[in-house]
Amino acid sequence: MRMNRRRALAALSGLAAAGLTGCSAERPLRVAVVWSGWELARFRRVLEGEPVTVYSAGNDIAALLRKPVAPAATPDVAIVPQPGLIRDPEIRSRLQPLTSQDPSFWRDLVTGPGDGQAKGVWFKVAYKSLVWYRPEAVASPPTGWEAWWALCRDRAASGRPPLSVPAADGWALTDWFENVLLGHAPDLYGRLHLLDPADWGDERVAQAFIRLACLWSIPGLVPGGGRRALVTQFHDAILDVFRYGRADMVAGPDFAWPVIDRYRSPGREARWFRFPCSAGERPPLLVGGDAVVALASSEERGERFVARLTGGEMRERLAPWARAGGFLSLGAGLRDDDYPAPVRPLARELRELRELRGLAESGKPGAQATGRSIAFDLSDQLGGALAGGDGQGLWRILTDLFAAVAVDPCPPGKAEEAARTAHAAAVEAAASRADGS
């Protein structure tokens, strides 16, 4: 009995000692991300075994970076999808300058107007100017917007819905809008995130809405009609095309690939063509991405972590994610053959944009080398009344436009009217920002 007690005491004191040494060891690095679900699980797997705590801050990442919160809640490192936040002077003052090997377009996105320092490194990027299709249904990809529109109209008229549009997801509709606008008015696109009502009021913005309305109002465009499209999410739209063959094409970013690959019917091939533009325009290259920043309070630990994550040391761990799809990187030591075949050219193209100059900053000349207009996702840079989210801002304006032209039969005149209404709503939202704060 006594022996037992003594043994128990010894065990307890041992535990206490272990606890004490545990406390004195370096605490885990706190990494805040915005991802959830599949992406979050993938990222955690990349960091498995590392002394790192990953947590999802969701939509609160801006507040997390902006407000001085107590030390226990401050992240050491954050992965941010809105480059505007990294350029925000208030947030910048709390971030460390980092050594960036990224191409200049990307580096400019996270470089402050005054200090010329890059305070973010791109960890993950997305290629958003794609239309995925089934080659057995679409023999040759359309050469431009007009050809695409004619193909859709003829296909629809023959009773075969050509497109699946995930109108339940606002971000998918804003990607449509941004692609059209970027093709049509690249220089204007680069200024719109500044929310100047005069820029938003430009007729070329209205033209982009009208172009979309003309395509979306084609009768029989989507399987089950526009009303069904409004409850179709991005993944449902992919299943429509590649699982059930209810439609032939779906516009979607590179991260559509893992979903296509997982759910497509056996033997069904998937290809993509670039999002079309009108004759005489430069094809749009819309990109998105997540940049990693280190907070000043993390000192050199944060900087070391960023360097490790983006510098190629983690290649072995990142490769499985890249192979599964949904992960494009500008470097990180990943090679072309780490990517699945369909997205390999995309990874190469994004990496080769080295010496291009971006359009995200106002007044900068367009990207020329590949003959494409490259720009960062606009809705990820919008604030105020145009900021996205279900039922909010630009998401809602485009959802309303889709509902107005695609649900009931819509003659061209009415489609244009609906597009003008959407444009007016966008201008008003931009203006309300100008009055408000």
Partner 1 sequence: MSRDDAFLFEAAPYHDMRAPAKSPGRGRWKAWLLLLPAAGLVVAGLLVPLAATVVTSLTGKGGLDAYRDVVNDAQVRTALRNNADWLGLALVVCALGLGLAWLARGVGPRLRRLLVVALTLPTVTSPLTAGVIFRMIFAPDPGLGTVNALLPEPVLFTGRGWIWLVLGLAFAWQWTGLAFLVFHVGLANLPEDLLRVAGAFGAGPLRRLRAVTAPALFPTAAVALLIVLTAAARVFDLVLVGAPGSVQPEVDVAGLLWWRRRTVLGDERAAALAVLLTVTAVAVALVVLGRLRQDWPHAERPWRWPPQPAPGGPRGPRRTAAGAGDARWPRRVAAGAVTGLWAFPFVVLLLTSFRSPDAVATSGWWTGGYGAGSYGEALDGGFFADALWATAQRGLLAALLVVVPAVMAAYALTHAALPRRARRAATAAAVVLAVLPPQALAAPLGWALGGVLGSTLALSPVHAALLLPLGVLLLRNAFMSVPRPPVTRPVAPRRTARRSALARVVGEAAPAVATVAVLSFVLVWNDLVVSLLLNWPAADQAPLTMRQASRYFTTSAGELAAQGVLMTAVPAVLLLVTGGWLVRGLTQGVRR
Q: For binding to partner 1 (CB under 8 A), which residues are involved?
A: 32, 36-37, 40-41, 44-45, 55-58, 60, 63-64, 69-73, 75, 167-170, 224, 227-228, 230-231, 233-236, 239, 243, 259, 262-263, 384-385, 387, 389-393, 395-396, 399, 403, 436-437
Residue 353 CA to residue 108 CA, distance in Å, equals 13
Min dist. Cβ of residue 226 to partner 1 (A):
10
Nearer of residues 233 and 362 to partner 1, judged by Cβ: 233
For residue 56, the minimal CB distance to partner 1 (Å) is 5
The residue among 71 and 159 lying less far from partner 1, judged by its C-beta, is: 71
Q: Nearer Cβ to partner 1, position 264 or 372?
A: 264
Q: Which residue, 22 or 71, is less far from partner 1 as judged by CB?
A: 71
Distance of closest approach, residue 2 Cβ to partner 1, in angstroms: 36
Burial zone of 404 (CB within 10 Å; 0-12 exposed, 13-18 middle, 19+ buried): buried
When the beta carbons of 45 and 335 are compared against partner 1, the nearer one is: 45
Any bridge partners for residue 53, and if so which? 30
Nearest distance from C-beta of residue 385 to partner 1, angstroms: 6
Quickly tell me which residue has 């209810």 as its tokens.
246
Nearer to partner 1, 145 or 177 (CB): 177
Under a CB-based contact definition with an 8 Å cutoff, are residues 216 and 209 in contact?
no
CB of 174 to partner 1, least distance (A): 12
Q: Least distance in Å: CB of 28 to partner 1?
A: 13
- State the burial class of residue 80 (Cβ atoms within 10 Å of its Cβ: 0-12, 13-18, 19+): buried
- Do 150 and 218 contact (CB within 8 A), yes or no? no
Provide the minimum distance between the beta carbon of 61 and partner 1 in the complex, in angstroms, as a whole number: 9
1/70 with CB nearer partner 1: 70
With CA atoms as reference, report the closest residue to 295 among 34, 104, 116, 85: 85
Please say whether the beta carbons of 33 and 54 come within 8 A. yes
Side chain identity at residue 233, one-letter code: Q
What's the min distance (Å) between Cβ of 5 and partner 1? 30
Q: Which is nearer to partner 1, 66 or 354 (CB)?
A: 66
| Nearer to partner 1 (CB atom), residue 358 or residue 393 | 393
Give me the least distance between CB of 276 and partner 1, in Å please: 25
Q: Which residues of 294-322 are buried (b: 16+ CB within 10 A; e: fewer)?
A: bbeebeebbbebbbebbbeebbebbbebb
